[in-house]
Amino acid sequence: MNASELRKLFPILDQEINGHPLVYLDSAATSQKPIPVLEAMKAYYEHDNANVHRGVHTLGSRATDAYEGAREKVAAFLNARHTEEIIFTRGTTTAINLVAASYARSVCREGDEIVITPLEHHSNLIPWQQAAKATGATLKYIPLQPDGTIRLEDVEATITPNTKMVAVTYVSNVMAAINPVKEIAAIAHKNGAKILVDGAQSTPHMKVDVQELDCDFYAFSGHKMCAPTGIGCLYGKKELLERMEPVEFGGEMIDHVGLYDSTWKELPWRFEGGTPIIAGAIGLGAAIDFLKDIGMDEIERHEHALAGYAYDRLSAIDGLAVYGPREGRSGLITFNLGDIHPHDVATVLDAEGVAVRAGHHCCQPLMRWLEVTATARASFYLYNTEEDVDRLTAALVKTKEYFGYGIG
């Protein structure tokens, strides 16, 4: 793949920020959108805009075909066994909340355990806190190694026959560590537990096979993988989804409604109450086509090389601390520059046209584990190059000079 050529398909990247060509290094928060995705959504609104599943007119039929076609693309992209195992949601957060509110609360009781890690984004932490409080289950954490990685020995020691649910991120949005979720799933199943994988930071960047991972649930967001905001998916094994009750009620998800009782549609529509995110699903389908044309293996190789290059360049800056492992990491770098506040670092970088994220990254417990209040984060995607890393490095050196007193 040629990242410089791919960049031309992203109109937003062709601009200057504060007099400098934009270097966008915040794709872990949200990716930019390529022309094929923008055109697919524009075509829907201009030619096929209608509600799905409800009408027999031509526009409704075309909209339904496009919407359900997107579901088929997601199922193939994840290698799901059945199309009905794909539930459209607003994103990773909604998908995880659905599992925590429906499945976990139905199987957990006092004395049971829910196991997660300190790496988790708040979206894969707070729902389990609430599920534990509602059911009386105990929330347990798999300990981390000093570099933010997970040892399988610690997984074995934490998950027990009392564990009903395990939830773990595939890729940390702070430490960049790629967790051994396939092995964690095997340990969970050995103990009779089910596992949910937070795929927000993995799905855009590597090939995902839910059957090979043998995860019970898998959640991801479209906006981090070239699709629009407001669309995401929950994959769940069919036999588990069929046991789950909906948590949102209304139109579209019903079969028969009486004055005092109602029944639900079959999978997947029982979990998609109301008018769905039609244009978002179509945009997600177009994004999947775009990524598959490039090749997920190619994208992963490109980002792995770029992350290694960035790790080495940034680690060479005196006074800059990089978090997470050197090897086996995804395409992001989280760092602090001396005692300069990350927001100040990000402000100076923005003045140089370099966009990075600063803050706790929705991982406050992990920040406390790192013994920092916040960090800066540069995250890469298929449109980034080594030249972007060089611009980041030069801007950090300028930041260091500007705040020279901050380097101890």
Give the pLDDT confidence of 9-34 residue by residue, as tens digits. Answer: 999 999 999 999 999 999 999 999 99
Question: What is the pLDDT confidence band of residue 209, given thresholds at 50, 70 and 90?
Answer: very high
Report which residue type is found at 96.
I
Measure Cα distances from 261 to 77, 173, 257 in Å.
38, 43, 6
- Please report the pLDDT score of residue 362 as a whole number: 97
Strand partners, 360: none
Cα–Cα distance measured from residue 364 to residue 359, given in angstroms and rounded to the nearest whole number: 9
What number is the average pLDDT over the span 203-230? 98
Measured in residues, the chain has a length of: 408
| Residue 159 neighbours by CB under 8 Å, 6+ apart | 113, 115, 166, 187, 188, 191, 193
DSSP codes, 51-67: -SSS--SHHHHHHHHHH
Q: Tell me the pLDDT tens digit for each residue of 233-252.
A: 999 999 999 999 999 999 88
Cα–Cα distance measured from residue 355 to residue 380, given in angstroms and rounded to the nearest whole number: 11
* Mean pLDDT, all residues of the chain: 96
- Please report the pLDDT score of residue 328 as a whole number: 84
- The conformation of residue 84, written as its DSSP 8-state character, comes to G
- The conformation of residue 360, written as its DSSP 8-state character, comes to -
In the predicted model, is pLDDT for residue 81 greater than 60?
Answer: yes
- φ, ψ of residue 66 to 5 degrees: the values are -70, -40
What number is the average pLDDT over the span 24-49? 98
Tokens of 291: 């990524």
- Please report the pLDDT score of residue 405 as a whole number: 56
Q: Is the peptide bond before 268 cis (omega within 30 degrees of 0)?
A: yes
Q: Is the peptide bond before 21 cis (omega within 30 degrees of 0)?
A: no
Q: Tell me the pLDDT tens digit for each residue of 337-388.
A: 999 999 999 999 999 999 999 999 999 999 999 999 999 999 999 999 999 9
- Please report the pLDDT score of residue 84 as a whole number: 98
What number is the average pLDDT over the span 282-307? 97
What number is the average pLDDT over the span 285-298? 98
Q: Tell me the pLDDT tens digit for each residue of 83-136.
A: 999 999 999 999 999 999 999 999 999 999 999 999 999 999 999 999 999 999
Question: Quick count: other Cβ atoms within 10 Å of Cβ 156?
Answer: 15
pTM of the model: 0.97
Strand partners, 177: 329
In the predicted model, is pLDDT for residue 179 greater than 50?
Answer: yes
Residues identified as active-site = 362
In the predicted model, is pLDDT for residue 406 greater than 70?
Answer: no
Domains along the sequence of the chain with CATH: 3-30+295-406 (3.90.1150.10), 37-293 (3.40.640.10)
- The conformation of residue 246, written as its DSSP 8-state character, comes to P
- Please report the pLDDT score of residue 125 as a whole number: 98
In the predicted model, is pLDDT for residue 407 greater than 60?
Answer: no
Question: What is the pLDDT confidence band of residue 408, given thresholds at 50, 70 and 90?
Answer: very low
